[in-house]
Amino acid sequence: MQRELFQFEADFFKALSHPIRIGILENLRLGDRNVNELCQLLSLEGSAVSQQLAVLRAKNIVVGIKEGTKVTYSVRDPLIFQLLDGARQIFDNHLAETLSQWQEIKQEISKTRGE
C-alpha cells in the first residue's frame, strides 16, 4: 500500500513538472480561465495549452466546466497554490544560500589576491 501511495505522489508531482502547466496554474490562481484566455496570457498556441490542460485534468488538478462552446478551467483544490508557494520559498531559500556562499568565495579570493 505504501508503494502505491509513493507512486501516486510521484505521478502527481510529474503532472506539475512542466513549465506550461505551472504557468497555467499560476494564471488560474487569478481566476477561472478558458483556453483562449490562457493562450493569450501565456503567449502560446491553443494546442500546447490544451495538451497541458489534459495532463492537469487527468490528475484531477484542474476541472473544466463547459459554457456553450467554451470550457472554463479552474483549480480543483486551492491548496495547490500553497504547494506552489512552498516550492517557490524553497527555491528562494536555496538561491539566497547559494548567493551567500558565492559572496563568501568572492571575499576569500579577494583576500588571497590582497585586494
| Residues 6+ positions from 76 with CB-CB distance below 8 Å | 60, 61, 62, 63
Through-space distance between the first and last CA atoms of the chain, rounded to whole angstroms: 61
Distance (Å, rounded) from C-alpha 91 to C-alpha 17? 15
Q: What is the pLDDT of residues 69-95, one digit of tens each?
A: 999 999 999 999 999 999 999 988 888
* Across 87-104, average pLDDT: 84
Domain 1-76: which topology?
A: Arc Repressor Mutant, subunit A (1.10.10)
Full-prediction pTM beyond 0.85?
A: no
Distance (Å, rounded) from C-alpha 28 to C-alpha 32? 6
76, 63 Cβ separation under 8 angstroms: yes
